[in-house]
Amino acid sequence: MHIDELPTPALWADVDVLQSNIAEMAKRLPGNRLRPHVKAHKTSALARLQSDAGHHGFTCATSREVLGLAEAGLGDDLLLANETVDVGRLAAMATSNARITVAVDSDATIDAAAEAGIRECVIDIRVGFRCGREVDEAAQLADRARASNIAVRGVMGYEGHAMGLVDVDRRRELVKAAMERLLEAHSLVGGELITGGGTGTHAINTWVNEIQAGSYVLMDTAYTAQTDQPFRQGLFLQSTIVSVAEKFAVCDAGLKAQGMDHGNPSWLDGEILFCSDEHTNLVPDKALKVGDRVSLIPAHIDPTMAKHQVLHLVSKGEVVDQWDIDLRHW
């Protein structure tokens, strides 16, 4: 099937770019130096390619991602990097056939994990503006976890406030400050893991011993704007022109088909005016007619993947396979 025969809107990946990006990251961060974050793609078939490239531990954002990877036989070492006090979901993870580690940053999250039978954790340290506890509280939390029969594998800190910055010097400055806090916490907590980072800081963050990058596999406009990134854009949203006016055209992929928290999508053949629920208004470089196909570039991969059930794999314009986006939901 040719890509233009897909019912739209349709999410597709350039399989050659995807494979190239996986290989490039495996060279840069081989083996367990990378703990791929599956929240970016939410697809166990893609996670298997990352495992085949030598990365056998994964970072997860939701219990569904954890359990889905366990069901797929990819549960060697799974880290739930978001806190939860949902004992039912924690118990389902604890009784799976996977090695489960959870992030904790409070007495409540530790107590919930202990009640559910979770046996390993990392102490989440606030190094920016997200979850985590202050450095001087880390040792107390580690003591409480150990007293609850939960082994403390180390510390985690996510420098999300630096991740998307285009200015590499400013990015490096913020990462350094954040990781100094994380290393101080690690000196108080101990353990083998110092985990954090992401696609935007994978080459800068030399303080952690594993990087939690995910978006690198397919990228989005937030990261391709960073000139120091070696990874290429591989994710696209295929759409059909459904209406044409004198000065603009309208396609059938709106905000319900793509993540909009990072702004409008991009389009190589013209300008994006705005997105509404089911439509995007475009100003084309050359005239379009109803029925023409266009490929938009999503601004944020993670929520875009969450809006689709299937990812189509395309090589040289031909659809060669499709994967279920099977790790969506919570």
Q: Using a CB cutoff of 8 Å and minimum separation of 24, what contacts does 100-108 make?
A: 100/66, 100/75, 101/77, 101/153, 103/79, 103/131, 103/156, 104/141, 104/145, 105/131, 105/132, 105/133, 105/141, 106/133, 106/141, 107/141, 107/144
The mean of the pLDDT values for the chain is 97
Average pLDDT over residues 61-69: 98
The whole-number average pLDDT for the span 256-269 is 96
Q: What is the pLDDT of residues 114-173, one digit of tens each?
A: 999 999 999 999 999 889 999 999 999 999 999 999 999 999 999 999 999 999 999 999
pLDDT at residue 129 in the model: 86
Q: According to the model, what pLDDT value does residue 75 have?
A: 98
pLDDT for residue 1: 94
d(CA 109, CA 115) in angstroms, rounded, equals 10
pLDDT tens track for 217-239: 999 998 999 999 999 999 999 99
Per CATH, domain 20-217 is 3.20.20.10: yes
Boundaries of every domain in the chain: 3-11+231-324, 20-217
55-60 contact pairs (CB < 8 A, 24+)? 55/26, 55/31, 56/31, 56/32, 57/32, 57/210, 59/35, 59/195, 59/212, 59/214
CB-based contact 149:143 (threshold 8 Å): no
Report the share of the chain in percent with pLDDT over 70: 100
What's the confidence (pLDDT) of residue 97? 93
Residue 222's pLDDT is what? 87
pLDDT digits (tens, 9 = 90+) for 7-61: 999 999 999 999 999 999 999 999 999 999 999 999 999 999 999 999 999 999 9
Burial tier of 6 (Cβ tally within 10 Å: 0-12, 13-18, 19+): buried
Classify 322 in phi/psi space as left (phi over 0), alpha (psi -120 to 50) or beta. Answer: beta
Which tokens belong to 321?
A: 């396979």
Predicted local distance difference test score (pLDDT) of residue 130: 85
Kindly state which CATH superfamily the domain 3-11+231-324 is placed in.
Answer: D-serine dehydratase-like domain (2.40.37.20)
pLDDT, position 86: 98
For 83, 111, 144, 210, the CA distances from 19, given in Å and listed in that order, are 32, 42, 43, 21
Confidence at residue 45, expressed as pLDDT on a 0 to 100 scale: 98
